[in-house]
Amino acid sequence: MTGESQREHGAGGPTAGTGASAVRELAPYLLLASVAGLVLAYLAKAPCRFGGHWEGAGRYAFACYTDVYPLYYGYGFTDGVVPYLQYDLEYPVLIGAVMFLLSSVVGPIEDAWARGFLFFDLTALLMGAFLVVAVFAVAAAAGDRRRMRSALFMALAPGTFLAAFINWDLMAVALSVLFIVAWGARRPALAGVLLGAAIAAKFYPLVFLGPLFLLCLRAGRLRAFFLALATTAGTWLALNLPVMLAAPHGWSTFFVFSSERMADWGSIWYALQEWGVQIQPDQVNTLGTGSFVLACTAIAVVALCAPRRPRLTQLLFLVVAAFLLTNKVWSPQFVLWLVPLAVLARPRFGALGLWQLAEIGYFVGIWWYLLSMSGPEDLAGLPVAGIGFDVYGLLLLGRFAAVALLCALVLADVFAPGRDPVRAGGVDDPSGGVLSDAPDRFAWGVWAGRAARVPAGSA
């Protein structure tokens, strides 16, 4: 093999080994932080789980809302319904499979209410396992012991434990971070398998392919990209095809539901409508999609024109953040998508802490805003009566601004690599895999000439 081929197909160098050794050394601390985060996550749901507030206004007053318990009954799992075949489930197939398997485990229990409690507990246990995997994967992706505190932030961030058990997102989050680890270990085929599985759980990791292509194009590593793309497509198809063939209508429900959904809570489009801006329901898709395409175009320009090739996690964070900022829905649990990417893209904890404060404000705000829509009879005995849109709108804008600020700071690091907290240590890209330390082969713009002259390992 030539030196270039070894770099492109090899199994990682000294940095990877050092990172793996450091993960093993820090494993007790990572596990302890993960368990602490999971305890906090379960306690956050305690007023619902133990206080009888699964339904009604209490779940909003105590901010313990979860989709898991009500959907067990709402989707007919208590009656043994098979998703997609007997019920049109608006979730991708891996989440549907998990819901069905867990409902099958609790099915023999005679008491229907006890089944719902156990279904939630088993879901929390499984999502907790995915959180532990995600925390260790963030540590591995960080590549350096000093940067592995990012994994502790992942485990203990308020956004993590407040949103962990709202839905099934942690499965896709763990698979997405494992994709980053596999790519960083120079295993593009395995990375594609993990990414395909992540997309089969939640559709948002699909946007990872754009930044990966742009970075591989700039570095002249398209062979690795197309290998990852092939295994991504193959894995996603293998997981989806049986359901597509057996229940095409049930399988397509997720896509139909997503396309027909109107501007919903959390999105800037919902806020604008509430503030009196005339946006028709059929315009929301156009505005949201158009805004996201513009944002992706700008990210592509950054990827190809920056004085030094951006790190993979920097672009992944930017594209997922752009998706959320422009999307017509921004559910509270979507913060889980951003936390691992944010700590890997920019492990500086001042701005990250400010963002988490904004997430806490929004988390309480959305539930209390929904609480304000309850009738007087539903509010009896509750400690609060909710907030109006005037306060909720400000909290929504606060979260929007905090994420936008993180994007601006990541962009500043891209265009001034010397201030990047990762590259300041003398490394190129711990998660770059075949991209790390690779010379540029294709770059545009006024910095293109300079980009070709900047050594890949310099700051």
pLDDT for residue 19 = 67
The reply to whether 459 falls in a domain is no
Q: How sure is the predictor about 385, in pLDDT bands with cuts at 50, 70 and 90?
A: very high
The reply to whether 21 falls in a domain is yes
pLDDT exceeds 90 at position 5: no
pLDDT for residue 457 = 41
Q: How does DSSP assign 172-241, residue by residue?
A: HHHHHHHHHHHHHTT-HHHHHHHHHHHHHH-SGGGGGHHHHHHHHHHHT-HHHHHHHHHHHHHHHHHHHH
Q: How sure is the predictor about 426, in pLDDT bands with cuts at 50, 70 and 90?
A: confident
Amino acid at position 374, single letter:
S
pLDDT for residue 18 = 55
Inter-helix orientation angle 335-345/312-326, to 10°: 150
pLDDT digits (tens, 9 = 90+) for 331-355: 999 999 999 999 999 999 999 999 9
**Candidate from 155-169, 262-276, 439-453 with smallest mean pLDDT:** 439-453
Residue indicated by tokens 């992944």:
316
Q: What is the mean pLDDT of the chain?
A: 91
Q: How does DSSP assign 306-321, residue by residue?
A: SSSPPPHHHHHHHHHH
Check residues 26 and 235 and name the one with the higher pLDDT.
Answer: 235
pLDDT digits (tens, 9 = 90+) for 161-220: 999 999 999 999 999 999 999 999 999 999 999 999 999 999 999 999 999 999 999 999
The reply to whether 37 falls in a domain is yes
pLDDT for residue 281 = 81
Q: Enumerate long-range contacts of 272-280, CB under 8 Å, 24 or more apart.
A: 274/389, 274/393, 275/393
pLDDT digits (tens, 9 = 90+) for 42-63: 999 999 999 989 989 999 999 9
pLDDT digits (tens, 9 = 90+) for 389-413: 999 999 999 999 999 999 999 999 9
The reply to whether 91 falls in a domain is yes
Q: How far is CA 127 from the centre of its chain?
A: 14
User: What average pLDDT does this structure show over 104-116?
Assistant: 91
Residue indicated by tokens 């290998």:
227
- Going by C-beta distance under 8 Å and a sequence separation of 6 or more, which residues neighbour residue 96? 83, 84, 89, 243
Q: What is the dihedral of CA 96, 122, 126, 371, to 10 degrees?
A: 80
Range of the domain at 200: 9-453
The reply to whether 3 falls in a domain is no
Check residues 21 and 50 and name the one with the higher pLDDT.
Answer: 50
User: What average pLDDT does this structure show over 93-114?
Assistant: 94
The reply to whether 282 falls in a domain is yes
pLDDT exceeds 60 at position 440: yes
pLDDT for residue 315 = 98
Domain tally, the chain: 1
The reply to whether 168 falls in a domain is yes
Residue 18 CB burial class (10 angstroms; 0-12, 13-18, ≥19): middle
The reply to whether 206 falls in a domain is yes
pLDDT exceeds 70 at position 446: no
pLDDT exceeds 50 at position 459: no
pLDDT for residue 337 = 98
